[in-house]
């Protein structure tokens, strides 16, 4: 567990640095009259992630976190099972983006995660799977003016209705 914690922190730190450097290609400042540049959010989220990995490394060095004091394996049988179930769900989510859109893939993933992995009731599951993607649509498309993948053409009628509400 101890070795797994520092390796994970190191990998996340390297990923953070890569994302920070890569996002500078799109600009990380604020564009007057338009809003944040394309790399603004990725850059600052990566900065936050890098700072967090620094704290993880500090806790590891001082042995103040439970994982830094443990000699247990990183993943037990249940952990491996959950990694496969959640990781498999994320792979399916990514595969569905080009087919049923980003928002449709989010809805399917929420259905899978809340109902089948979380064992929540149908009322909560369906309400979250319907409300959150629509709220995210209005946030990204309406407020942030960031277009997300819309999938194949059969999803267009849904987006036509939602765009009519925005514009």
For the stretch 83-98, pLDDT in tens is 999 999 999 999 999 9
Do 69 and 85 fall within a single domain?
A: no
| Domain end point (choices 28, 45, 74) | 74
**Closest Cα to residue 151, out of 95, 110, 72, 84?**
95
Do 102 and 133 fall within a single domain?
A: yes
- DSSP secondary-structure letter at 73? -
Do 37 and 116 fall within a single domain?
A: no
**Domain residues for 10?**
1-74
Do 31 and 87 fall within a single domain?
A: no
Q: Which residue has the tokens 């994320």?
A: 90
- The pLDDT tens digits along the chain (167 residues) read 899 999 999 999 999 999 999 999 999 988 888 888 889 999 999 999 999 999 999 999 999 988 888 888 888 899 899 999 999 999 999 999 999 999 999 999 999 999 999 999 999 999 999 999 999 999 999 988 888 999 888 888 888 899 999 88
Taking the C-alpha atoms of residue 84 and residue 78, their distance in angstroms, rounded to an integer, is 10
Q: 53-79: buried (b, 16+ CB within 10 Å) or exposed (e) per residue?
A: beebbebbeeeebebbeeeeebeeeee
Percent of the chain scored above 90 by pLDDT? Answer: 72
* Lookup: tokens for 100: 């049923």
Domain count within the chain = 2
| Domain end point (choices 22, 53, 74) | 74
CA distances from 83 to 6, 7, 80, 89, 153 (A): 19, 17, 5, 10, 33
**Closest Cα to residue 104, out of 137, 66, 64?**
137
Do 101 and 47 fall within a single domain?
A: no
């Amino acid at each position: 567990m101890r070795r797994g914690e520092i390796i994970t922190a190191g990998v996340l730190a390297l990923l953070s640095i890569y994302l920070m450097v890569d996002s500078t290609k799109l600009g990380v400042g604020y564009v007057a009259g338009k809003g944040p540049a394309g790399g603004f959010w990725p850059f600052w989220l990566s900065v936050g992630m890098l700072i967090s990995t620094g704290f993880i490394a500090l806790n590891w060095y001082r042995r103040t976190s439970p994982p830094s004091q443990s000699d247990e394996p990183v993943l037990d049988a249940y952990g491996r099972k959950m990694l496969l179930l959640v990781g498999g769900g994320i792979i399916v989510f990514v595969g569905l983006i080009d087919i049923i859109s980003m928002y449709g893939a989010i809805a399917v993933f929420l259905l899978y995660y809340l109902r089948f992995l979380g064992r929540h009731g149908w009322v909560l599951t369906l309400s979250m799977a319907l409300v959150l993607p629509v709220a995210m649509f209005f946030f990204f498309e309406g407020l942030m003016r960031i277009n997300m993948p819309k999938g194949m053409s059969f999803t267009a009628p849904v987006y036509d209705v939602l765009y009519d509400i925005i514009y």
